[in-house]
Amino acid sequence: MARYSNKVQKIVYGGDYNPEQWPEEIWEEDMRLLKEANVDILTLNVFSWATLQPSEEEYNFSKLDKIMKMVKENGFQVCLATSTGAHPAWMAKKYPDILRTEFNGMERKFGGRHNSCPNSPTYEKYSVRLAAKIAERYKDYDNIVAWHISNEFGGECYCENCEKAFRVWLKKKYKTIENLNYAWNTAFWGHTFYEWDEIVLPNLLSEHFEQNRSQFQGITVDYKRFNSESILKCYQREYEVLKSITPDIPITTNLMGFYKELDYKMWAKYMDVVSWDNYPSNQDTPAQIAMSHDLMRGVGGGKPFLLMEQTPSATNWQPYNALKRPGVMRLWSYQAVAHGSDSVMFFQMRRTIGACEKLHGAIIDHAGTNETRVFREVKELGEELKTLGDQTLGSVTEAEAAVYFDWDNWWAIECSAGPSCDLKYKDEIYNYYQALYHLNVPLDIVGPEDDLSKYKLLIAPVLYMTKTGYDEKIRTFVENGGTFVTTFFSGIADEHDLIIIGGYPGRLRDILGIWVEECDALPPQAENHFTYQGKQYPARLICDISHSEGAETLSVYEEDFYAQMPVITKNQFGKGHAYYIATRSSEEFYQHFLGNVCKECGIEGLLAPQEGLEVAMRENENGRFLFLLNHTDRMLQTELPEAGRGLLESKEYAAGDMAEIPAKGVQIIKLEKGQG
């Protein structure tokens, strides 16, 4: 597969550098220290709009000129940002239309960042103009390997600009007010609209009784679509001007994993390479981190992505900002590479001295020396990446299993009034992802538009919103021999969040061979139970009460008035099978169940499962690369099924040899070509 840039010959290593926050006499010392740390790429100009444009018609690039010149002379590549993530104070004072309004109707003043209304004419005018000026000025720098538009786009706005733009968006989508009234079911509670200007934004001033719960889900879901597209247009406008001036430089912006406000599947269509910032919480498991990497690879259609940011030590914004223990920075960096990253980058190069990120980790700490633990770890990893060279660049993950994820479905489920406030879409995705992760089964995360023909297994937990045509996609997949797994609260509504009448699970009913009559929501401490292959498991959160319409019943409830009603069903449909899991259960159940399903599908794990050992595979024209990641505090061993060579230790292995992975350690085994 082609690399994102022909200027890149290895996994790029570096990250955000903000020299404008420091006196110039420190810059030379930074160059020396960063080269010693084996850094080779710097992300520049992320938050410099106020410096670059001190007034409406005045632009001053003198400081950035010096930085760009110094960085080039010292041999660094550059990921150059457009600096439009935070507008200047003068702009907010002169043009208040640029400021956002919060969900509760509160009008923002200047402050923070991401405070620009995405539908502000002022923001559109000046952000595009700045991007154009930067591109024209630095277009001949041959060390620029990527453009970085703005920074971590996000948030929502509920101002008058957005309300007017929302009406225009709706008119374009629905054409007539009658079509809109039908899609939103406005006959309910006398909500019929007669003119477009009667429509108001869905927030705490109108349709919401809580932040995440709406009285008119169709309106709220449409607004979330509109907001995501509005912010995307901000990105696209800068993209277009950059591409017109520097057509050969790839363009990206840093995404944020499972970020609810923006539909990244749509965004990725307009990114030359997907990049993202990995900041897991202290409680996140290795599987949760891996799932975010796989989502970022998935939104990009399976192509390699860029790890744009991670902390080398501690974050600053979590309730408890624990340090990464020795070895964990290296381990998590290679975990990103194992799941598809062609970069290892950090925020930040040098710790700032003031404001909210002064305690966020950095390669160069406030001590300003090379004598810290973090600096030594960064330097050592940089040496390894030099040794690794270009071998893994452009490599992909070949998977036969896929998990379906859709932002529209996420929005619709979690703004719904019922069935349970504890039902969280991402949690249900994770239950199934985690099981395959522990079984060492490679998988892709796919969306509504992705082709399913390469997969043997498709898992779609809580497929509440069954968009028009997607049932046909599933039907074809199963008829042709695929295995489909879905769960409770699936097939309920269409893309407008209107119930699909005729019995649940709606358009999936014939594929699954069941009719779901009722849905019981259990409080947090309550459980039913079922037995699967001789072992009892809990039934939690939701219990669908269903009837077989041709499907085989594999397990039944054991308590309450719906005892003996199906929990797990399996339906033969064409050449394939469709499973329905009518409840949430335990981690042990998901591994047991999906282990059996994978065997039926002919899907094998890369290696035998071992607690704490993560296994992944990437492939390119250079060969196949087996990643072994030890998340435990003890040495692990695993038997290699094929001969290969350890790239980090320069050791040859025969098939059947044991590979040792030290505590928090990593092995990358290049398997012999022509096998597998």
Closest by CA position to 522, among listed 550, 464, 562: 562
- 152 noted as active-site residue: yes
DSSP letter at 116?
B
How many other C-beta atoms can be found within 10 angstroms of the C-beta atom of residue 366?
Answer: 13
Residues 6+ apart with CB under 8 A from 307: 275, 276, 278, 333, 336, 337, 341, 343, 344, 345
Q: Which of 344, 419, 340 is nearest to 377 (CA)?
A: 344
Burial of 210 (0-12, 13-18, 19+ CB in 10 A): exposed
Nearest CA to 487 out of 573, 404, 599 is that of 404
Residue whose C-alpha is closest to residue 284's, from 410, 401, 430, 422: 430
352 touches 19 (CB < 8 A)? no
Residue 309 annotated to the active site: yes
Give the strand order in the sheet containing 623-630: 613-620, 623-630, 666-671, 644-646, 651-653
d(CA 135, CA 132): 5
Distance CA 44, CA 19 (A): 8
Angle between helices 121-138 and 217-245 (to 10 degrees): 30
What is the radius of gyration, based on Cα positions, of the chain? 26
From the list 20, 124, 309, 384, the catalytic residue is 309
User: Contact 301/450 with Cβ under 8 angstroms?
Assistant: yes
The distance between the two most distant Cα atoms of the chain, rounded to a whole number of Å, is 77
Strand order in the sheet with 343-346: 251-252, 144-148, 77-81, 41-44, 12-16, 343-346
Specify which residues 81 forms β-bridges with. 148
* CA gap 490, 493 in Å, rounded: 8
Residue of 341, 336, 342 whose CA lies nearest to 290: 336
Cα dist. 144→99, 131, 242 in Å?
A: 32, 15, 13
Name the nearest CA neighbour of 379 among 13, 8, 2: 13
First to last CA, the chain: 19
Which among 152, 238, 414, 495 is annotated as catalytic?
Answer: 152
To the nearest 10°, report the CA torsion of 14, 16, 21, 25: 20
Beta bridge partners of 460: 486
Q: How far from 128 is each of 47, 87, 234, 235, CA to CA, in Å?
A: 15, 12, 9, 9
Q: Is 526 helix (H, G, I), strand (E, B) or coil?
A: coil
**CA dist., res. 123 & res. 95, Å (int):** 9
Residues with Cβ within 8 Å of residue 391, at least 6 apart in sequence: 622, 623, 625, 647, 670
DSSP bridge partners of 544? 519
* CB 348, CB 16: distance < 8 Å: yes
CA atoms within a 13 Å half-sphere pointing along the CA-CB vector of 458: 30
Cis peptide before 304 (omega within 30 of 0): no
Active site residues: 152, 309
